[in-house]
Amino acid sequence: MARELRDEDFELGSGLMDDFDATITDAWFAPPRQEYSEKAGGESTPFLHLKLEGPDLDQPMTEMKSTGSAKGWQIQREGLEIVSAKSPNLHQFVQSSRAGELVNRIIALAGKGDKAKGVQVMKSRGYLMTEAEFYTGLSFHWEREQMATVGGETRDVLMPTALLDIGDASVATAVASEPAFSDEDTEALVALASGKTEQQLKQQVMRSELKGNKELLNAVFNKNLLKTLEENGTLTRGPDGKYI
């Protein structure tokens, strides 16, 4: 039988990790790695370093985000905090910095697209974006996106695309009250499940049209919807752990 060949089958991958779930298990502020600093002409501005761990990763990986040089950030608390030398009461990154873009994305995901709500969710965790604890414990689905550089070029940047776990049970309970989704949404989810493990199904959801359905994503990643569907018989697993 003839195979269907797709255009994307002939495109070479970058070799960089993409499209995976991972938790930020550690975070700290430090200068960039030496090879990066050399490429950036001796850049020594503190970078936000994130240690990512998850079932899709063979080993932990470290992601770096620039905090920007305009505020004169200085490292304190042995790397757990940065403080502006120009304005000690300033606690915000420049929006155009990679760390600023990351925080904007985190807030948007925490608020399900509502920035004001996302701010309140992150405030409830008790930390500022200039503190490493702000990031530790957060779990996301991560994907690489084309983003502009300061020089006007584009680069593949690893960014969170869905919030999986807020890392704080009390905050997660406060976030849980979201509108219900339709039966048609559930049927579309179940239609994707056949022959997939739970992890594979979650990844497929993020590649499908369902990724724009915020209520459904919240139920799948934060409210154990798949387990609920198994308990009521809507989804069934085979001996190999894959949905039938």
pLDDT digits (tens, 9 = 90+) for 25-48: 999 999 886 655 455 444 568 999
Residues facing residue 165 across a β-bridge: 139
pTM of the model: 0.65
Note the pLDDT tens digit of each residue in 145-190: 999 876 778 889 999 999 998 876 556 555 544 445 778 888 899 9
162 and 208 in a single domain? The answer is no
Euclidean distance between CA atoms 137 and 18, whole angstroms: 20
46 and 120 in a single domain? The answer is yes
Residue among 191, 192, 186 nearest 213 (CA): 186
pLDDT, mean over the chain:
84
39 and 67 in a single domain? The answer is yes
Could you tell me if 100 and 91 are in contact, meaning their C-beta atoms sit under 8 angstroms apart? no
70 and 132 in a single domain? The answer is yes
Residue 150 in any domain: the answer is yes
Residues facing residue 147 across a β-bridge: 155
For residue 233, CA distances in Å to 122, 188, 205, 225, 244 come to: 36, 16, 20, 12, 11
156 and 194 in a single domain? The answer is no
Residues facing residue 29 across a β-bridge: 48
Could you please report the per-residue DSSP string of 16-62? Answer: S--SEEEEEEEEEEEPPPHHHHHHTTS--S-EEEEEEE-TT-SS-EE
Could you tell me if 37 and 31 are in contact, meaning their C-beta atoms sit under 8 angstroms apart? yes
38 and 145 in a single domain? The answer is yes
155 and 187 in a single domain? The answer is no
188 and 162 in a single domain? The answer is no
Residue 175 in any domain: the answer is no
Containing structural domain, residue 191? 183-231
Residue 34 in any domain: the answer is yes
73 and 106 in a single domain? The answer is yes
81 and 135 in a single domain? The answer is yes
Residue 141 in any domain: the answer is yes
Q: Total structural domains in the chain?
A: 2
219 and 142 in a single domain? The answer is no
